[in-house]
Structure 1
Amino acid sequence: MSSTTAPATRSSAKPLIVAGLVAAAVASVATAAVAAAGDLAGISLDVSGAPIPVPGFATLTAVFSLLGLALALGFKRWTRRPRSVFVRTTVALTALSLVPDVLADAATATKALLMVTHLVAAAIVIPAIARRLPA
């Protein structure tokens, strides 16, 4: 008689996936809201003379949040300390994501707004996923 359950040493990935998807959705709405609030406050969303549409913030947040979830699933499967590896990696990637904002051909307030959206997304997604990874 064969068993179809996962070994006891590996927990199901479903809670991690669900948490990651929910966090991606929440972060997408949050970054779009931050961008819209900045726009309403008079902060330009133009980079290199082209406006970034508010829905673009949500779309890119969702894409990169899902990439973070994929990293977490890989770390869960292939590393001994997935939470630690995930947090260190995503914090470093978040810091790196600020570099293009600093270098962007945009007003200082626009650069700051872009950086805030990255930090808002990271503050939502990283803890939500990390909590569901084994220490």
Structure 2
Amino acid sequence: MNPVRATTSTTGALVRTGAIATVAASAATMAVAAVGHAAGISLDMSGAPIPVTGFGVLTAAFSLIGVVIAALLARFAERPRRTFVRTTVVLTVLSLVPDVIADAGAATRALLMLTHLVAAAIVIPAVARRLAA
């Protein structure tokens, strides 16, 4: 078996899974934001509205960065799955910091944090399953 082909195949599966998880997470964060807004939670931050689609776009961007991190770890880390999960959990916690200090109401900040957690709950396990333990 050609080792380059095996790596490419594994990377391809990782990227496909990551892309599917990214789409699902983007849709989920937009749904959470839309439901929150419909329930009366403001999507304004510093007096400017956050469009519902903005949740999906940012989720996609950061999820794809996570897929790149996973691909690099798959190639270079001794324990890619463990390293990926630990790294992404720390990054998820750090992603909550701007929401905590945001110029927005408490409900808005909570909704923002919820969208981060929803995205992480979708992307991290899906991508981690594709990494070697």
Q: Structure 2 length as normaliser, TM-score?
A: 0.95
**Which position in structure 2 is the counterpart of 1:62?**
60
Separation in structure 1 between the aligned mates of residue 5 and residue 59 of structure 2, nearest angstrom: 34
* Partner of residue 119 from structure 2, selected from 118, 121, 133: 121
- Percent identity over the alignment is 61
Any idea what the Cα deviations from partners look like across 1:39-80, whole Å, max 9, x if unmatched?
A: 000000000000000000000000000000000000001111
**Which position in structure 1 is the counterpart of 2:75?**
77
* Partner of residue 12 from structure 2, selected from 11, 14, 27: 14
Instruction: State the 1:14 CA deviation.
Output: 1.2
* Partner of residue 26 from structure 1, selected from 24, 28, 43: 24
Instruction: State the 1:7 CA deviation.
Output: 5.2
Give the greater-gyration-radius structure (CA).
Answer: 1
Separation in structure 1 between the aligned mates of residue 15 and residue 5 of structure 2, nearest angstrom: 19
Unaligned regions of 5+ residues in structure 1, if any?
A: none
**Which position in structure 2 is the counterpart of 1:101?**
99
Q: Structure 1 length as normaliser, TM-score?
A: 0.94
> What amino acid is aligned across from residue 80 of structure 1 in structure 2?
E
Mapped contact 1:31–1:61 kept (Cα < 8 A)? yes
Separation in structure 2 between the aligned mates of residue 62 and residue 32 of structure 1, nearest angstrom: 11
Check if 1:50 corresponds to 2:48.
yes
> What amino acid is aligned across from residue 56 of structure 1 in structure 2?
G
**How many residues get paired?**
132
Instruction: State the 1:81 CA deviation.
Output: 0.3
Separation in structure 2 between the aligned mates of residue 40 and residue 68 of structure 1, nearest angstrom: 30
Check if 1:87 corresponds to 2:85.
yes
The ranges of structure 1 where at least 4 consecutive aligned residues each deviate by more than 3 angstroms after the TM superposition are 7-11
> What amino acid is aligned across from residue 76 of structure 2 in structure 1?
W
Unaligned regions of 5+ residues in structure 2, if any?
A: none
Mapped contact 1:86–1:130 kept (Cα < 8 A)? yes
